[in-house]
Amino acid sequence: MNAVSAGHEVTQKVAVQILEVGGNAFDAAIAAYLASWIAEPCMSSAGGGAFANVYTADGRSMVFDFFCQTPQNKVQKIPLDFVPIHIDFGEAQEIYYGGLASMAVPGSIAGIFEIHKQLGTIPMKVLFEPAIQLAKEGVAINNFQHYDLSLLHSVFDHRKRAMELFKPNGQLINIGETLRLPELSDFLDFLWREGPDAFYQGEVAQNIVRDCVEQGGFLCLEDFKNYKTFLRKPVKSTFKDYQILSNPLPSTGGTLMTVGLDYLNQFETSKPKNLLSAFGNMNSFEKNPEKLGSFLESRNRRGATSHFNVWDKWGNAIALTMTIGEGSGYIVPGTDIHMNNMLGESSLVPNGWHSWKEDIRLSSMMNPTIVLNAKNELDLIIGSGGASRIPGAILQVLVNTIEKKHNVVDAALAPRIHYENSKLDIEPKYEITNEEIPKNLAHKFWKKQSMFFGGTHAIQKSNGKLLAVGDQRRDGVSVVF
C-alpha cells in the first residue's frame, strides 16, 4: 500500500500520480514539492527552503537540510529594504519583515536535485511535468490558501509583479479564482534540463543580486554559488520504547521536541501539569543554541510552513516540511519565484533584527519526524507547520499515539495547547482544569481550533495497514491506496 498526507489536494494528487507510474516515495516527494510551489504559494516556493527526513526500505535514515543560508556580508551602504508585515490571527497578532533585506539564500532547488541524486528512480523530466503544467494552467485558490493570503496580503503591496499575481485589479485573488504563474512554468521547463546551476549560477542569481545591490538587500553572487544541501544524521531519542528520529542541529525544532520527550519519559502518563513542565523545559532551551548542543552531548551517552508525507509500497518514507516564511514580497524577475523572508522572522533571529551571523545555515523550528516501534520497524511519519508551535504540536501527537494509544487520525485532530513566553494558549475541549494551570500564568481559552496550533499531517502503520491524516486546522488531506 501507498499513503500520502499533505496540506493541499493538488500536492497530494501529484504525489499519487508519481507513485502510480512506479515512482518511489522520494520521486513522489520531489514532484509534490514542485507542485506545492503553485498550489501552496503562501508556504512553499523555489525561493524558500525545506527539510526532508527520509527512511529507506533497507533501513537507512538521513535528513536532507536544504534550508536557507544567511548572506556572507551584512554591510550595506544604502538604506535597507526591510518592510514590516503585520499579521492578525484574530486571537493573536505577530509582526514580521519582508523586502530585499529579509531574504536569505534559498535551498529548495538544490534540495530536490540532491534528493533525486541520492534516492530518485524516475527522470527529472517526468517529475517536473505536473508542476510545469500547473504553473501554466493555474490552480484555483481554496479556502485555506485564501485565508493565508489574506493574513499576508500587505507583503504584496510593494512590488509590481507581486501585485499582478496576487492582487489583480488591486484586490486580493479570491476563493475559486485561478492563480497562474506562467513565467515559473517556463523557468521549470528550463530548470529540469539545466539542473540547479540554472538558478544558482546564471542569470536568475544575477538578477536577484543586482536588485539587492541597487535597492537594499544583502545577497551577493558568492552566496548563490556556494550554496549546498547538507545530509545530516537525525537526532535520535526514545519515548516509551519508540525511537524518534528528528531534525538535528543547527535547527532547533527536533532538539527542542527531544528535550520535551526526555522530560516526559520520567512519568508514567503525561498529565497536563507534566506537559506544561515539558513545554517550560523546551522554552528554557529555545534561545540558547549552546545549551541545546550541551544537552545533546550529555544525552548521546545513552544526536508560514507546510508539510507532506509519502509512504510507498516498498517501505520507503519521507516527511518533508517547507516554508518561505511569510515571503519577502519580491518576485524574481522572469521566473514568478517568490523569495523568502527568513531574515525577517523573529523566531530565526531571536536576538533582534539583523543580529544573524554571516554565512551560516539558519536554524529552524521545522521538524519532519520519523518514528520506529520497539521492533525497530517504521511506525509513523509526521510533520507540521506553525513556526514556534511546531515542536510542541508534534510532541502532543506523539504522546497521543504512543502513550495514549490513539490512532493517528484522532491523535492529530485532538485539541492542543501551546506554552511560550510565559503564556498558555488552550484549544477548545482540551482537558485541563483551572486548578491545573499554575497561578499567575497568563492563559487563554481559544474559541475554536486554529492554524495557530500547527497542522500535523501524518501517516501511521496500524495493524499492518497504513492510516493517514491531514490536519483540518490547515485544510490537510490524506489518501491510502
Total-model pTM? 0.93
86 pLDDT more than 90: no
Rounded to whole angstroms, the Cα distance separating 197 from 448 reads 46
Distance, CA of 303 to chain centre: 21
Q: Are residues 203 and 238 in the same domain?
A: no
Rounded to whole angstroms, the Cα distance separating 94 from 154 reads 13
Number of domains in the chain: 2
What is residue 198's predicted lDDT score, i.e. its pLDDT? 96
Q: Are residues 279 and 331 in the same domain?
A: no
Q: Are residues 397 and 282 in the same domain?
A: yes
Q: Are residues 176 and 325 in the same domain?
A: yes
279 in a domain, yes or no? yes
Find the catalytic residue in 11, 70, 305, 456: 305
Using 50, 70 and 90 to split pLDDT, how confident is the model at 316?
Answer: very high
Q: Is 305 in the active site? A: yes
Q: Are residues 252 and 206 in the same domain?
A: no
Provide the domain limits for residue 406. Answer: 234-304+367-480
Q: Are residues 212 and 155 in the same domain?
A: yes
353 in a domain, yes or no? no
Question: Nearest CA to 454 among 406, 404, 410, 397?
Answer: 397
- Pick the residue with more confidence: 457 or 388? 457
Helix (H, G, I), strand (E, B) or coil at 112: helix
Q: Are residues 20 and 117 in the same domain?
A: yes
Instruction: Tell me the average pLDDT across 401-417.
Output: 96
Q: Are residues 401 and 468 in the same domain?
A: yes
Instruction: Tell me the average pLDDT across 316-328.
Output: 96
Question: What nine digits make up the cell of 480?
Answer: 491510502
357 in a domain, yes or no? no
350 in a domain, yes or no? no
What is residue 435's predicted lDDT score, i.e. its pLDDT? 86
Mean of per-residue pLDDT scores for the chain: 92
CA distances from 170 to 84, 173, 379 (A): 20, 9, 48
Cis peptide before 415 (omega within 30 of 0): no
CATH number at residue 403: 3.60.20
Q: Name the residue with cell 520504547.
A: 241
Instruction: Tell me the average pLDDT across 299-326.
Output: 84
Q: Are residues 320 and 424 in the same domain?
A: no
Q: Are residues 321 and 439 in the same domain?
A: no
What is residue 290's predicted lDDT score, i.e. its pLDDT? 62
Instruction: Tell me the average pLDDT across 321-335.
Output: 95
| pLDDT tens-digit series, residues 366-407 | 999 999 999 999 999 999 998 889 999 999 999 999 999 999
Question: What nine digits make up the cell of 356?
Answer: 544573524
What is residue 146's predicted lDDT score, i.e. its pLDDT? 92
252 pLDDT more than 70: yes
